[in-house]
């Protein structure tokens, strides 16, 4: 089976590439290395076909030849940047997805990485299930949602079998400290350098942190089903709690500095994963303490 992973040189994509190789897939990676790094794929060099190109490229025939399954993870993932450059964000996330869909019409399956933290907006209730209204409060949320709509449209019009995965805040080894949910990566990196942790607002804002191997597992399970699925833990953790856990895990007392709150970010969120549990057999396994300990160890 030949699988294409767009964004395969990125944080989640590179873990997915490894998991696919482990399961015997032939893997093709399409990544323009805008935020991804070739080093993320160092462990699989020689075992994948790598194309340094954009998902916006007019002709992707040479990339898509023989591809049976598409995992579309390439995206502009930075919420801040989406606020500053909304047109660029829209171009990569919506037009890029449309361009890929148009050229990948012959693929058997299309798996789209969406964002549960961004497409719902400020939750009306918690945990947020897939039926919750989608009212993004950032250009990033709007562009990821637009991508979802095109995926569904291509399913309807051309029969592409798809799954849309709305990931919670993913963390793990190799996460770039500039990413969407980079707070754990950023905090651990700053701690390693002896720098204070910067908390925006009160620190009472919550997120649903899910470990990367759990997300990769869910993404593979989604090959068997169609539909829209939240992928998270269902657990809300505040930034202040995160600082406490990091302090315990690392055996340090981090200095914390508070900054004004940032726009485009929801106050609280956690995702209901009942549907993914029932239909995909998904359940997050790695607890936050354990996951943070693993990332901390990986930093040396």
Q: Could you give the CA distance from residue 38 to residue 17 in angstroms, rounded to a whole number?
A: 13
Which residue number, 160 or 181, has a Cβ lying nearer to ligand NAD? 181
Residues 6-45 that bind ligand NAD (CB under 6 A): 6-7, 9-13, 30-36
Contact region with ligand NAD (CB under 6 A), list: 49-57, 61-69, 184-192, 253-261: 49-57
Q: Is 209 a catalytic residue?
A: no
Applying CB under 6 A, among 176, 208, 214, 265 the residue interacting with ligand NAD is 176
Of 159 and 280, which has the nearer Cβ to ligand NAD? 280
**Minimum distance between the CB of residue 210 and ligand NAD, rounded to whole angstroms?**
8
User: Stretches 149-157, 168-176, 242-250, 270-278: which one binds ligand NAD (CB under 6 A)?
Assistant: 168-176
Q: CB 93 → ligand NAD: shortest distance, Å?
A: 7
Contact between 180 and ligand NAD by CB under 6 A: the answer reads: yes
The CB-of-104 to ligand NAD minimum distance in angstroms stands at: 14
Residues 53-112 touching ligand NAD, rule: CB under 6 A, are 54-56, 73-77, 92, 96
- Applying CB under 6 A, the span of 20-28, 126-134, 164-172, 200-208 interacting with ligand NAD comes to 164-172
241/244 Cα distance (integer angstroms): 5
> Nearer Cβ to ligand NAD, position 25 or 171?
171
Note the Cα 206 to chain centre separation in Å. Answer: 17
User: Which CB, 103 or 260, lies closer to ligand NAD?
Assistant: 103
CB of 265 to ligand NAD, least distance (A): 13
d(CA 207, CA 226): 26
From the list 25, 120, 140, 211, the catalytic residue is: 140
* Contacts (Cβ under 8 Å, ≥6 apart) of 153: none
- Whichever of 25 and 140 has its CB closer to ligand NAD, that residue is 140
HEC letters along the chain? CEEEEECCCCHHHHHHHHHHHHCCCEEEEECCCCCCCHHHHHHHCCCEEEECCCCCCCCCHHHHCCCCEEEECCCCCCHHHHHHCHHHHHHHHHHHHHHHHHHCCCCCEEEEEEEHHHHCCCCCCCCECCCCCCCCCCHHHHHHHHHHHHHHHHHHHHCCEEEEEEECEEECCCCCCCCCCCHHHHHHHHHHCCCCEEEECCCCCEECEEEHHHHHHHHHHHHHCCEEEEECCCCCEEHHHHHHHHHHHHCCCCCEEEECCCCCCCCCCCECCHHHHHHHCCCCCCCHHHHHHHHHHHCC
**Smallest separation (angstroms) from ligand NAD to the CB of 194:** 26
Between 11 and 25, whose beta carbon lies closer to ligand NAD? 11
Binding residues for ligand NAD (CB under 6 A): 6-7, 9-13, 30-36, 54-56, 73-77, 92, 96, 113, 115, 117, 144, 167, 169-170, 176, 179-181
Active site residues: 140
């Amino acid at each position: 089976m030949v699988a294409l992973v767009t964004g395969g040189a990125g944080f989640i994509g590179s873990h997915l590439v490894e998991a696919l190789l482990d399961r015997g897939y032939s893997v093709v990676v399409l990544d323009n290395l805008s935020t991804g790094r070739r080093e993320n794929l160092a462990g699989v060099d020689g075992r994948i076909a790598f194309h340094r190109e954009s998902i916006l490229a007019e002709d992707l025939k040479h990339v898509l030849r023989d591809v049976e399954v598409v995992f579309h993870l390439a995206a502009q993932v930075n919420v801040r940047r989406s606020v500053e450059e909304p047109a660029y964000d829209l171009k990569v996330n919506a037009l890029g997805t449309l361009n890929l869909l148009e050229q990948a019409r012959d693929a058997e399956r299309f798996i789209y990485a969406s964002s549960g933290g961004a497409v719902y907006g400020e939750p009306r209730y918690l945990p947020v299930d897939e039926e919750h209204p989608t009212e993004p409060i950032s250009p990033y949320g709007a562009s990821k949602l637009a991508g979802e709509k095109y995926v569904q449209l291509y399913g309807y019009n051309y029969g592409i079998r798809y799954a849309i995965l709305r990931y919670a805040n993913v963390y793990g080894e190799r996460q770039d400290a500039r990413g969407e949910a980079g707070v754990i990566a950023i905090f651990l990196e700053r701690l390693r350098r002896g720098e204070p942790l910067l908390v925006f607002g009160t620190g009472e804002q919550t997120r649903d942190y899910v470990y990367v191997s759990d997300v990769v597992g869910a993404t593979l399970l989604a090959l068997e089903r169609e539909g829209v699925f939240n992928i998270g833990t269902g657990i809300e953790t505040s930034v202040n709690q995160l600082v406490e856990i990091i302090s315990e895990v690392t055996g340090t007392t981090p200095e914390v500095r508070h900054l004004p709150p940032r726009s485009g970010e929801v106050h609280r969120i956690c995702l209901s994963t009942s549907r993914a549990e029932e239909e995909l057999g998904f359940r997050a396994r790695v607890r936050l303490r354990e996951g943070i300990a693993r990332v901390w160890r990986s930093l040396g």
